[in-house]
Chains A and B, each alone.
Chain A
């Protein structure tokens, strides 16, 4: 127990140590997080009127980000599949970064949900009366929290074992890893089912939503990790082979192509039939009765996704510059398409045919940025801790040798 406490303490101290770039990055993230907290407090005092949401568009940027991030969390576990099922050892070293990303992203998801609640002070009502199995939201609560605990356990166990200098015992993490694979698919499917099950929203009430969720998640998630791994490679001593990056590229490539195919399926079904159900899709892609705020967004997203897919298919993206460009395009394109291109159009027009457009307020945007910054802060800290610990530079033994009072080993010139 004492060892665990010192482990946590060492992690805490380690997260403050770094060169000027690290400090700058952390300061920026902290500032944004504090701004987000401030904006959220404004919302807590005045209510959700500080956001741009209305009775007509009752879910907005918070749920859009939540949806996107659940996908990212699911995809983070994608790295596990090649390693543990296909024995692709190139990715073995980087699995931990995927798992850590999953942890920080799930925390962001939970924060977005809390930010969206009208009465966050009552969220413990979920424990007293839980409408399981009727409400898909309850399934989502179980899925997300379970996934968080699963990944916390896996990462924590591996890092703690490295800290203690002993080999991790397979029985304590390998079964959990396999469960996490299945669970990752589940969390995103359940999140999709939140929307799919609503008959009153024909834009969502389609079987293709869940497969599209997974496809776009598996394009955006590994893209994010490709970028992150390059940062890790550049700023720490952890080895990341190019083969790992190329394996991830293959995943993004296939997932993006599937995503575009599913997009084509959806667009055809909506517009060829041209029934009344097409109203929301028409609003999104072409505008409805003069209201067209989302049109430039969705076409940019489609453009970005198509360009990303082309880049990924071409051998030029084997080079890091084009690969990074394709990744950025994927991440941003899928964020727009999944967030604003999925959540908001279902509310326009309303089930009674009224059109009220949604524009997020500054307060809302600052809260979102704050949560993103906080999540990135957590992820940076996790990576900051796990790289030296897994490399064996920061261990309990090193600590004892320094009588527990010196500066953290692995962080100074002496060792």
Chain B
């Protein structure tokens, strides 16, 4: 193949034949202009057609100017917060038809939360899962559940042996033990480390929170969590049943599409002194919650006297969630009552 040849050769694309030889002297011919105009119009039309699905966008999907410039929670002044809460409340009213009041309880002084879970007592009934869903206004379609109860094989602490999908059978199964897992509110949280925009952070009372209006939905935190505790809103969440109107900005207010959420130890309850919803509903009292800095608390007693351990300690997350066995762990040697209780 020859190069540097000015004569057009058939195979070279950068030298097309000029079909309108005579009209080029003034530069742009009318025909050329029309062709180009039609081409440009076709181009713009096809781009518009490609963009056409956007006509289905909801009003809330497009951020308003105020939302666009909304600050990170940690930078908000009290007035900013009022404004933001008002916006969120209005959106809740629009979507769910309910008037709500967003609380914003801060961490209590001298309090660090710790959660204990008694593996000798958990029977795997999954009531905690559903109480949490109801309390925290989680989506039912697609289903989001912060708590996952694992049916574990005796002899193994490895979650590889766990069954997540045991059926609605009579529990407890005599050969298994049950280990509910939720966000451990780690003291060295890998999710906080990896978030590129600091949308999630650990507060002074130990709870790792998320600013749902700051999260960009990259899901790096979801990939980083060793306990599979984080959930993502793949679409607009659909809450089944009535909304829980006792809401806080950082915990159970309805979340938008495209952001990550997780267990917050029910901070809208626990920061005003109440127990979290999962604990309230647990029929056997396997769940223990409180302030570890208070030496008289239940959790302090458990940590002092029980054989506690943490899950996946080797990953170095320093969780605030402890599992323990009672001294009386021998119930499995006896036949469990066949009768189903009320």
Contact = CB atoms under 8 A, between A and B. Distances in A.
Interface in B184-242: 190, 193-199, 214-220, 222-228, 230-236
B47 A37 contact: yes
A119 B214 CA distance: 9
B233 A353 contact: no
B214 A235 contact: no
Contact of A135 (B63, B193, B312): B193
Given A19-B16, A119-B259, A48 B235 contact: yes
A410 interface: yes
Contacts of A166: none
A56 B224 CA distance: 12
A35 B51 CA distance: 10
A123 B216 CA distance: 6
A169 interface: no
A249 interface: no
> Could you say which of B15, B28, B52, B312 has the most chain A C-beta atoms within 10 Å of its C-beta?
B15
A51 B5 CA distance: 51
A351 B196 contact: no
Nearest to A388: B14
B219 to A, nearest CB: 5
B225 A351 contact: yes
Interface residues of B, number: 85
B51 A37 contact: yes
Interface in B1-49: 1, 3-8, 11-18, 24, 26-28, 46-47, 49
A128 interface: yes
Contacts of A351: 159, 225-228, 312
A405 B26 contact: yes
A352 interface: yes
A141 to B, nearest CB: 7
Contacts of B233: 47, 118
Interface stretch (A198-206, A222-230, A263-271, A334-342): A198-206
Nearest to B21: A413
A131 B257 CA distance: 23
A346 B235 CA distance: 24
Contacts of A118: 215-219, 232-233, 257-260
Interface in A100-149: 113, 116-123, 125-126, 128-131, 134-138, 141
Contacts of A387: 14
Interface stretch (A38-46, A75-83, A175-183, A314-322): A38-46
- Which size bracket describes the interface of A in this complex? 35 or more
B13 A198 contact: no
> Could you say which of A130, A387, A413 has the most chain B C-beta atoms within 10 Å of its C-beta?
A413
Interface in A346-384: 346-347, 349-354, 384
Contact of A42 (B47, B53, B216, B219): B53
B59 to A, nearest CB: 13
Contacts of A388: 14
A59 B216 CA distance: 15
12 contacts: A19-B12, A41-B51, A45-B61, A117-B216, A125-B199, A129-B72, A197-B194, A233-B1, A238-B3, A347-B223, A353-B162, A413-B15
Interface of A: 17-19, 21-22, 30, 34-35, 37-38, 41-42, 44-49, 51, 53-56, 58-59, 113, 116-123, 125-126, 128-131, 134-138, 141, 194, 197-201, 233-239, 276, 279, 346-347, 349-354, 384, 387-388, 405-407, 410-413, 415
Name the 7 nearest CB pairs between A and B, nearest first. A118-B217, A200-B226, A118-B258, A405-B27, A47-B235, A19-B13, A49-B235
